[in-house]
C-alpha cells in the first residue's frame, strides 16, 4: 500500500475488525445482523417447512393449532407475515432475504415467541435461513419445479436437502413422502434423521361426506371450503388412523388426500413444539386463502386454487375427480413466464389427463411473450379431446369458462378449476404488477349470470 493510499484510510482507533473468508458470506451476514438486530433466531422456537407443494397449507394449519394451544405465533410464507393470526405485511417472498428476516424477528419478538415459516429451495441455497435452528421441520413432497434457477432436478433436490443442516440437535425431519425419505437415506446415508409419517384416512364407515358438511344446493351461490362429496379412501396404510367423522363434517377440506397429508405434518410439528399432542387439533383449522376455494351454484362448482406445478395439478384434479365422480371437469390454467420452461408441457399433459375440457390462458408472463408460453404448454396437450381453447387474456378466459358452464345442460354436474394464481392479487407482466384477482373475476361473473347475490 502506498503512503498516499495509507493516508486516505480513517484510523481505526481501537475498533475491532472482523476478518472473514471469501466463501463465508452467510456467517458474515449473521455477524453483521447480530450487531444491528441482537434479538435473533436463538430467542425463538422455530419450525420450518420445505417441499414443492403444500408448504403454505401446512404452515397455516400449524399456525392455527399453535394459536389454539395458547402460543404467540409469527408466520412467514407465501401469504406474507401473520402475527398471532392477524395479517401483518406482504414480503413478496416465500422466504424473505436474510437481513429482512432478522429485522422481522427483532421487531416481532416482543409479541411472539414461536416462528413458523416456509423454507424455499432458493432460501436454503442462498443462505436466507443462516443460523436458524429448527426445533421442528418437515418436507412435504418433491416434484419438478424451479429448474430455471437450479438447472436440473438433482440440484433442486440437493437444495431442498440443505434443510437437514438447519435442524437443531436431535430433531428429525418429518415427511409424508416415502420417496423423499428413501432418497434422503440413499444420498445422505441410512442414519439421516428423517421420519415418514402417515396421513389420516377417511372414516372407514363413511363413503360420502354427509349433507351436513356443505350447504344445500340452492339457486343462490354458496361459498364453501371444500368439495361436497368424496369417495371412501382405500384401507389405511401401516400406521395411519382414520380421521374422526366429526372432523370431516366440520372441516370438509380434509376430504382431500393432500390436505390430510399437510394436516398430519402440522399435527406432528405442533406436537414437537408443544411437547405433547394437541387434543382434536382439527378444530383449530381454517381454510387457507386461494387453496381449494369453492363456489357452488346448483350443479356448478367453481374452484380457485394456487396449483402451478405438474404434481399440484395432478393432485387437485385427482381430488376433484374423487370428490365429484359424476361431474365433468373444465380446467383453466396457464404457465408463468421466465421460469422453468420444461414443466410447461408437463403441466399441459397433467391438465389434459384430468379434465374433460381445457381453457389455456396466461399466468404472470413477466417479460416473456404469452403466446410463446402457451405454445410450450400446448406441446404436452396433443391428447386433449376436444382441443384446448386458448384465450391469453385471463379475465376474458374466465368469462368464457362461465359461459360454457351456463350453456351446458342444467342436469349436468360440472366442476370448473381455475388454477395457478390462487390468493395472488396481481398479474406480473413487463415489469409491472397490475391489480388482478381470480376471485374477483369469479364474483363478477357470478353476478353477470345472476347466480346469486354474491
Distance CA 341, CA 328 (A): 29
pLDDT at residue 4, as a whole number:
58
How wide is the angle at C-alpha 309 spanned by C-alphas 308 and 311, nearest 5°?
A: 130
Range list of H helices, 299-393: 310-323, 343-354, 370-378
The arithmetic mean of pLDDT across residues 85-109, rounded, is: 91
Distance CA 358, CA 382 (A): 12
More reliable by pLDDT, 31 or 55: 55
Class of domain 25-196 (CATH, top level): alpha beta
Q: Which three cell numbers stand for residue 185?
A: 437415506
| Element housing 3 (H / E) | helix 3-7
Judge whether residue 208 has pLDDT over 80.
no
pLDDT at residue 67, as a whole number:
98
The arithmetic mean of pLDDT across residues 7-16, rounded, is: 62
Question: What own/partner pairs with CB < 8 Å and gap ≥ 24 does 181-185 have?
Answer: 183/142, 183/157
- Tell me the pLDDT of the chain averaged across its residues: 87
pLDDT at residue 218, as a whole number:
32
The arithmetic mean of pLDDT across residues 143-158, rounded, is: 86
Judge whether residue 264 has pLDDT over 80.
yes
pLDDT at residue 291, as a whole number:
86
Q: Please report which confidence band the pLDDT of residue 249 belongs to, taking 50, 70 and 90 as the band edges.
A: confident
Q: Please report which confidence band the pLDDT of residue 139 belongs to, taking 50, 70 and 90 as the band edges.
A: very high
CA dist 360 to 3, 10, 65, 235, 349, Å?
A: 68, 62, 38, 37, 12
pLDDT at residue 428, as a whole number:
95
pLDDT tens digits for range 340-394:
899 999 999 999 999 999 999 999 999 999 999 999 999 999 999 999 999 999 9
pLDDT at residue 9, as a whole number:
54
The residues that bridge with 81 in the sheet, in sequence order, are: 76, 89
pLDDT at residue 256, as a whole number:
86
Q: Which of 32-41, 183-192, 222-231, 254-263 has the lowest mean pLDDT?
A: 222-231
pLDDT at residue 26, as a whole number:
83
Q: Which of 38-47, 241-250, 387-396 has the lowest mean pLDDT?
A: 241-250
pLDDT tens digits for range 190-204:
999 999 999 998 886
Please state whether beta strands 136-139 and 173-175 pair in parallel, antiparallel, or not at all (unpaired): parallel
If you compute the radius of gyration of the chain from its CA atoms, what whole number of angstroms results? 24
CB 180 within 8 A of CB 156: no
CB 137 within 8 A of CB 163: yes
pLDDT at residue 211, as a whole number:
32
Q: Which three cell numbers stand for residue 205?
A: 364407515
pLDDT at residue 10, as a whole number:
63
Could you give the maximum distance between any two Cα atoms of the chain, in Å? 91
Q: Is the dihedral of CA 347, 352, 354, 360 positive or negative?
A: positive
Distance CA 95, CA 129 (A): 8
- 3-state SS assignment for residue 358: strand
CB 363 within 8 A of CB 420: yes
Distance CA 205, CA 208 (A): 9
Judge whether residue 80 has pLDDT over 60.
yes
Cis peptide before 319 (omega within 30 of 0): no
Q: Cα torsion at 340, 287, 215, 255 (round to 10°)? A: 70
More reliable by pLDDT, 247 or 114: 114
- Could you tell me what percent of the chain has a pLDDT over 90? 68
Distance CA 131, CA 133 (A): 6
The residues that bridge with 86 in the sheet, in sequence order, are: 83
| Element housing 432 (H / E) | strand 432-435
Judge whether residue 125 has pLDDT over 60.
yes
Q: Is the dihedral of CA 156, 352, 231, 251 positive or negative?
A: positive
Judge whether residue 146 has pLDDT over 80.
no
Distance CA 349, CA 37 (A): 48
pLDDT at residue 143, as a whole number:
87
Domain spans, the chain: 25-196, 289-448
Q: Please report which confidence band the pLDDT of residue 20 belongs to, taking 50, 70 and 90 as the band edges.
A: confident
Q: Give the CATH number of domain 289-448.
A: 3.90.190.20
pLDDT at residue 222, as a whole number:
47
**Across 144-153, 200-209, 260-269, which has the greatest mean pLDDT?**
260-269
Q: Please report which confidence band the pLDDT of residue 2 belongs to, taking 50, 70 and 90 as the band edges.
A: low
Q: Please report which confidence band the pLDDT of residue 285 belongs to, taking 50, 70 and 90 as the band edges.
A: very high
Please state whether 290 falls in left (phi above 0), alpha (psi between -120 and 50) or beta.
left
pLDDT at residue 386, as a whole number:
96
Amino acid at each position: 500500500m502506498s503512503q498516499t493510499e495509507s493516508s486516505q484510510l480513517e484510523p481505526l482507533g481501537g475498533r475491532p475488525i472482523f476478518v472473514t473468508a471469501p466463501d463465508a458470506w452467510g456467517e458474515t451476514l449473521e455477524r453483521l445482523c447480530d450487531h444491528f438486530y441482537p434479538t435473533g433466531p436463538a430467542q425463538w422456537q422455530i419450525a420450518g417447512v420445505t417441499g414443492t407443494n403444500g408448504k403454505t397449507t401446512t404452515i397455516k394449519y400449524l399456525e392455527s393449532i399453535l394459536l389454539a394451544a395458547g402460543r404467540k405465533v409469527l408466520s412467514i410464507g407465501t401469504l406474507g407475515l401473520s402475527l398471532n393470526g392477524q395479517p401483518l405485511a406482504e414480503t413478496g417472498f416465500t422466504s424473505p432475504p436474510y437481513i429482512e428476516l432478522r429485522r422481522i424477528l427483532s421487531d416481532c419478538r416482543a409479541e411472539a415467541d414461536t416462528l413458523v415459516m416456509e423454507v424455499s429451495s432458493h432460501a436454503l441455497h442462498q443462505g436466507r435461513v443462516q443460523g436458524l435452528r429448527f426445533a421442528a421441520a418437515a418436507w412435504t413432497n418433491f416434484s419438478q419445479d424451479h429448474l430455471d434457477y437450479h438447472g436440473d432436478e438433482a440440484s433442486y433436490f440437493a437444495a431442498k436437502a440443505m434443510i437437514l443442516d438447519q435442524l437443531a440437535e436431535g430433531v428429525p425431519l418429518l415427511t409424508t413422502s416415502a420417496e423423499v425419505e428413501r432418497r434422503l437415506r440413499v444420498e445422505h446415508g441410512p442414519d439421516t434423521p428423517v421420519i415418514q409419517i402417515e396421513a389420516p384416512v377417511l372414516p372407514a364407515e363413511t363413503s360420502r361426506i354427509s349433507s351436513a358438511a356443505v350447504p344445500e344446493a340452492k339457486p343462490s351461490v354458496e361459498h364453501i371450503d371444500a368439495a361436497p362429496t368424496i369417495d371412501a379412501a382405500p384401507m389405511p396404510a401401516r400406521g395411519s388412523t382414520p380421521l374422526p367423522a366429526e372432523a370431516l363434517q366440520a372441516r370438509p377440506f380434509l376430504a382431500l388426500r393432500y390436505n390430510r397429508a399437510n394436516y398430519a405434518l402440522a399435527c406432528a410439528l405442533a406436537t414437537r413444539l408443544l411437547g405433547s399432542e394437541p387434543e382434536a387439533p382439527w378444530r383449530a383449522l381454517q381454510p387457507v386463502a386461494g387453496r381449494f376455494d369453492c363456489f357452488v351454484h346448483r350443479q356448478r362448482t367453481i374452484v380457485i386454487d394456487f396449483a402451478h406445478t405438474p404434481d399440484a395439478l395432478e393432485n387437485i384434479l385427482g381430488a376433484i375427480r374423487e370428490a365429484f365422480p359424476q361431474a365433468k371437469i373444465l380446467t383453466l390454467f396457464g404457465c408463468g413466464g421466465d421460469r422453468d420452461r420444461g414443466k410447461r408441457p408437463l403441466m399441459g399433459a397433467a391438465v389434459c389427463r384430468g379434465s374433460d375440457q381445457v381453457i389455456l390462458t396466461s399466468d404472470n408472463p413477466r417479460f416473456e411473450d404469452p403466446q410463446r408460453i402457451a405454445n410450450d404448454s400446448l406441446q404436452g396437450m396433443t391428447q386433449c379431446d376436444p382441443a384446448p381453447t386458448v384465450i391469453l387474456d385471463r379475465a376474458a378466459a374466465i368469462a368464457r369458462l362461465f359461459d360454457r358452464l351456463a350453456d351446458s345442460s342444467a342436469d349436468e354436474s360440472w366442476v370448473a378449476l381455475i388454477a395457478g394464481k390462487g390468493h395472488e392479487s396481481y398479474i406480473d407482466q413487463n415489469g409491472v404488477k397490475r391489480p388482478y384477482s381470480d376471485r374477483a373475476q369469479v364474483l363478477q361473473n357470478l353476478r353477470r349470470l345472476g347466480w346469486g347475490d354474491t
